[in-house]
Structure 1
Amino acid sequence: MASAPTAKGHLLVIPKYHGAKLHNLPDEYLQDILPVVKKLTIALGLNVDGPEGTGYNVLQNNGRIAHQVVDHVHFHLIPKRDEATGLIVGWPAEDADMSELAAYAKELQAKLA
């Protein structure tokens, strides 16, 4: 991720607790993040759906391989008002084997129990 804004209104929401990655933060430092982001979307006028819609991305990266540059958890709110500005994503999608996904889901459910 570039260190410069990608669109007017691109901002960061930063927890006060220092942790390099999301899993390093205590839950209480995360509980207000989405409500704050929601309020900011309204303040930026991103909650108004026009004929072509207004979009935005909420982005949080963990680790260099995942494009994290700053070693302090932070969340990007990136307005997407047109095709030329904001986050541009290239998603390397793969065909899914549904039986493998179902088995993996069961494995994860067991770890969460």
Structure 2
Amino acid sequence: MSSVDELYPVSCPFCKIADAYPPEASPVPQSPDPERVDPQAHVILSTPYALAFLDILPIAPGHILLTTRHHYRKLSDLYTTPQHPNHPSSDETQQALESARALGEWLPPLSRALCKVTGIEDWNIVQNNGERAAQVVPHVHFHLIPRYQEGRRENAGKGKVDVGMLKSWRMFGRGAREDLDEEEGEEMAGLLRGALREEVEGGGKAKL
């Protein structure tokens, strides 16, 4: 077992966020305190099986992470049937099944909320499995990355715009990313929660 495996999920940042923001009566929390964890977490969604919050190193303003509340390292760990020889218990299987279902159910309304708030028409949904596939946090998660039209600001924060990124639509690259500005993050998260709440209350029937 690698040192990374030994550390997780005890020091998993996503598990820490899950512990700090338990499910509420509504899947969209009203006004979660971003300082419950360090670094701050700007939470958008909190359900028994899924969480969504802003990436702290966003590729573009509004970059969302959708993850499972329970710890699974890779997408393949979301088993839905008993596996031999070390098959999980029925409770663990049901938990994994509900977690997988929650990811699929929340991707569309989160996408619609993201488009409504940012005004973008194009976005990436990216999911990495393992270090060689650019997975930084070994806890299964999806990136929802807005792609702004030419001339719109593509990078986050108050730093210099990477014009090359605007033209190439590069998927990842630390050089084009900046730490999330806390004030901007709080404002963006509030707008996204409002749009997502409209999605939930409207039955998810909003159109792009």
Farther-moved stretch of structure 1 (75-84 vs 5-14): 75-84
- 1:30 counterpart = 2:100: yes
Q: Which has the higher helix share?
A: 2
Q: 1:15 aligns with which of 65, 68, 78?
A: 68
Identity, in percent, stands at 38
Task: For residue 12 of structure 1, give the secondary structure of its aligned residue in structure 2.
Answer: strand
Please give the per-residue CA displacement for 1:84-105, whole angstroms capped at 9, x wherever unaligned: 7375149xxxxxxxxxxxxxxx
Please give the per-residue CA displacement for 1:32-88, whole angstroms capped at 9, x wherever unaligned: 213212111211225xxx9xx710111110011100110100111111123573751
TM-score, normalised on structure 2?
A: 0.36
Alignment of 1:1-113 (within 5 A): 4-25=57-78, 26-45=96-115, 54-82=121-149, 85=154, 88-89=170-171
Structure 1's unaligned 5+ residue stretches are 91-113
- State the alpha-carbon separation in 1 of the partners of residues 104 and 72 from structure 2: 18
- Bigger RCO of structures 1 and 2 (CA < 8 A, at least 6 apart): 1
Number of aligned residue pairs = 85
**Which amino acid letter does the alignment assign opposite residue 10 of structure 1?**
H
- 1:3 Cα deviation after fit: 6.3
- 1:27 Cα deviation after fit: 3.0
4+ aligned runs moved over 6 Å, structure 1: none
Structure 1 vs Structure 2 CA RMSD: 2.8
- State the alpha-carbon separation in 1 of the partners of residues 170 and 149 from structure 2: 11
